[in-house]
Amino acid sequence: MRKSQHTQEDAYNTLREEAYRQFMNAMLDRKFRPGRMLSQRELAKWTGSSLASMREALKRLEGEGVVKLIPQRGVLITEVTRKDIADAYDFRILIETHAIRHYVANCDPAEVERIRAQTKEILAAIPDEKGIEHFNRCLEIDRELHRQIVAALDNSAMSDTHQKIETTMMLARLNLPAKLNAGTAAFEEHLDLLNAINSGDPEDAAASLRNHLIKARERAMEFAEL
């Protein structure tokens, strides 16, 4: 009996995770834009999920700040303001430039080289690749480097908050021109940052990271809706 209960719970959790994944993919594919109001039934239909699974996924999404559940009205996709973007980058500059000093001292050179190789692959593919899969790949590689840097602090509170900030950035990116989301500038800055990390100088790495985040903020703010 207990085994059967665990099997049912595992199946339910899998369906909930799939509903969450399908929702996020739809967001990245720009099917759901910030500011749009949708019903739970619409979302379940669009993602191919059961209504129960979608409801559970929406609880998680609300906790992450992606949506707001409004009684009697539906699900509001969170809009990101210019102030939200500025605040997010202020936080990232503060936390990440602190974290990278720890990262430089403890990072695995092979792991850094792996990220460098992936970054070069992205840069080589940018002229020809413009689809959603390429965008998702760019987002994945960008997030991985920054998450590894923050993880060097071994502080779950900071990592959790940083991940929520990443969600704000993801929502902001949905309003940016595609060429900025998968453009060369950010990844060229990543290569400069990886070179600074390899130098072993924590202050040089922190300066490179700060420069990257300031430029990223400028790009985001330039195209953010007023």
pLDDT of the residue at 95: 97
Q: 202 Cβ partners below 8 Å, 6+ apart?
A: 100, 101, 104, 105
pLDDT on residue 180: 52
Phi-psi group of 71: left, alpha or beta (phi > 0 → left; psi -120 to 50 → alpha; rest → beta): beta
Domains belonging to the chain, first-starting first, are: 2-77 (1.10.10.10), 82-223 (1.20.120.530)
SS3 63: helix
**Which of 98, 101, 99 lies closest to 201 in space, CA to CA?**
101
Q: CA 173 to CA 168: how far, in whole Å?
A: 9
Task: Report pLDDT for 226.
Answer: 44
10-residue mean pLDDT series, the chain (226 residues)? 55 80 83 88 91 93 90 90 92 97 96 94 75 74 93 95 86 65 81 96 98 92 66
Neighbours of 115 (CB within 10 A): 19
pLDDT value at residue 194:
97
